[in-house]
Structure 1
Amino acid sequence: MSPTSTALVATGPLVFITGASSGIGQSLAARYYRAGYRIALVARRANEVQAWAQTQGLDPARVGVYGADVRDIASITAAGRACIEQQGLPDVVIANAGISVGIDTAIYDDLEVMRSTYETNNIGMAATFHPFVAGMCKRGSGRLVGIASVAGIRGLPGHGAYCSSKAAVISYCESLRGECRPFGVKVVTIAPGYVATPLTSENRYSMPFLMQPDDFADQAFRAIEGGVTFRVIPWQMGVVAKLLRALPNWLFDRALAGRPRKNRKTQ
């Protein structure tokens, strides 16, 4: 779980990122590294993250890799504590790990898919933040970043688990923001639209304004550094989100009629 001992001598700001083995998490890691940050990367597949860091030629003194599963509270909180011990208290914590699987409430096995989605996207996020909140508040600075989704704005057919989990991310981060504000700690909610990652590669429907992960990471980095409280990326999806929120239910339902559902776990 611990990084190499050389990480102890590195200096500079530190970012802690979950779900760093691929997609958005990996691109965020690369973006923060280029900006001069030390990076603490968390993933179930820690060996893959180590291999990626070596392939990219990253300085081992600036990289810590921790193997943990965000669904396991003991595992992810231990990774956070190990990061503090080995690399120090982060300046930025990005709870990025998440899953997206379609469900059908009429199918019994899909209830377990819903449980797993909440364990990953919601409990996992709170457990990711937990080791750092008290220290950041005592220090009087820091950023806690929750990766939500435009899908959290309104419920989409076949997306009941994912949409509701991301709606919960938005509300949770809003609550946490109010709790941390008096102590100088910022809570940032980033809501991506469609990003070309393994999560979206099997979608059976159109994905307007599809972004590449590196482009998303660049915009997210600027938003987080700028201290925004909530940002939809790209901005075009922000407009779409506002329109969806404003639609009356009858028109929203009609607009989505016949839209392909997200693949279930067994599809």
Structure 2
Amino acid sequence: MRKLVFITGASSGIGQALARRCYEAGYDLALVARRAHEMQQWADTHQLDVQRYRLYVADVADVQSIVAAGQACLTQQGLPDLVVANAGISIGMDTAEREDLAVMARTFAVNNTGLAATFHPFVALMRQRGTGCLVGIASVAGIRGLPGHGAYCASKAAVISYCESLRGELRGSGVRVVTLCPGYIDTPLTRENRYAMPFLMSAPDFAERALRAIEAGVSYRVIPWQMGLAARLLRLLPDALFDRLLAGRPRKHRAPPP
């Protein structure tokens, strides 16, 4: 019997690349995103076997919506072996601008509450079964704060801490929790960045390394490893030197005016 993977944010970027790699590895797919057309178009383009995937439309920022998608997966395909909470957004913010507080709230709703809500339908059942793997997609940006990127950096730091907490809660249950921290991945999310992106890698290359890490049983992995080393060095820098290093660095685009 084939394994089943449940992936959010499956309409583009890392989500699609992970879906493709898991499919090649023999998994059936439960794909979740707001845009059904993009998911179906991608499935058709790659000639996926219609017996091996289902599409679920959900907004991860809406708890009821993503929980309902998880419950629909349980009904239609059964309990997944692997759940990847990949959906995320990245928008620049300026705390001096009143409207950017809404940007922060939306970022946390997708990247944090949405991640927990993605896992929620499966945790008790996986614990009861005694097997399963929950994967949270964090970011190297969660290791140190970047100017103009407060919402995203804070949300990804929260993903790292949340997954660590959940891993402790599920210790000994047979259910694994994996935290993956991508560096710069070539996706629609990063292509508008106005600053240098060292060690930029393709989404398929990331997906290959990510699945390898998951199946190797790791609990935490930065991909690529060079970015992990750079992040550790940045973490060790004194604040004054870190601040000086980032002085004048171009900032992430803010949301366009409503």
TM-score (norm 2): 0.99
Deviating above 6 A after TM superposition, structure 1's stretches of 4 or more consecutive aligned residues are none
User: 1:25-82: per-residue Cα shift (whole Å, max 9, x none)?
Assistant: 0000000000000010000001210121011100010001000000011100000011
- Identity across aligned pairs (percent)? 69
Cα deviation, residue 182, structure 1: 2.0
Tell me, yes or no, if structure 1 residue 166 matches structure 2 residue 162.
Answer: no
Tell me, yes or no, if structure 1 residue 33 matches structure 2 residue 9.
Answer: no
- Give the match for residue 157 of structure 1: 147
Tell me, yes or no, if structure 1 residue 125 matches structure 2 residue 115.
Answer: yes
- Give the match for residue 98 of structure 1: 88
Cα deviation, residue 181, structure 1: 1.5
- Give the match for residue 204 of structure 2: 214
User: 1:95-125: per-residue Cα shift (whole Å, max 9, x none)?
Assistant: 0000000000000000000000000000000
- Give the match for residue 194 of structure 1: 184
Cα deviation, residue 214, structure 1: 0.2
* SS of corresponding position for 1:187: strand
Q: What value does the CA root-mean-square deviation take over the aligned residues? A: 0.7
Amino acid aligned to 2:87: A
- What is the CA–CA distance in structure 1 between the aligned matches of 2:44 and 2:87, rounded to whole Å? 22
TM-score (norm 1): 0.95
Cα deviation, residue 133, structure 1: 0.1
Matches within 5 A, 1:1-267: 11-266=1-256
Consecutive unaligned residues in structure 1, runs of 5 or more:
1-10
- What is the CA–CA distance in structure 1 between the aligned matches of 2:41 and 2:147, rounded to whole Å? 38
- What is the CA–CA distance in structure 1 between the aligned matches of 2:5 and 2:205, rounded to whole Å? 19
- What is the CA–CA distance in structure 2 between the aligned matches of 1:119 and 1:47, rounded to whole Å? 24
- What is the CA–CA distance in structure 1 between the aligned matches of 2:44 and 2:215, rounded to whole Å? 27
* SS of corresponding position for 2:2: coil
Cα deviation, residue 235, structure 1: 0.4
- What is the CA–CA distance in structure 1 between the aligned matches of 2:41 and 2:201, rounded to whole Å? 25
Aligned residue pairs total 257
- What is the CA–CA distance in structure 1 between the aligned matches of 2:252 and 2:42, rounded to whole Å? 30
